[in-house]
Amino acid sequence: MPNKRFKKFLSVKGFKFTKEREEIFSEIMLIEGHFDPDELFITMKTKGSKVSRASIYRTIPLLVDGGLIEKVEMTDRHAHYEKKPGKRHHDHMICSICGKVIEFYSPELEKLQESICRKEKFKALRHSLEIMGRCGDCG
Partner DNA sequence: CATTTAATTGAGATTTAGTCTCAGTTTAAA
Partner DNA sequence: TTTAAACTGAGACTAAATCTCAATTAAATG
CA distances, 70 to each of 12, 14, 62, 106, 125 (Å): 20, 22, 11, 9, 23
Alpha-carbon separation of residue 100 from 59, 94, 106, 127 (angstroms): 35, 6, 19, 21
Residues 56-95: x where in contact with DNA by CB under 7 A, - otherwise, as a string: -xxx----------------xxxx----------------
Q: What is the closest distance, in whole angstroms, from the C-beta atom of residue 52 to DNA in the complex?
A: 3
Q: Is the dihedral of CA 4, 40, 71, 59 positive or negative?
A: negative
Nearer to DNA by Cβ, of 23 and 83: the residue is 23
From candidates 26, 52, 96, 115, binder to DNA by CB under 7 A = 52
Residues near a copy of itself (CB under 8 A): 74-76, 79, 93, 95-96, 102, 104, 106, 108-109, 112-113, 116-117, 120-136, 139
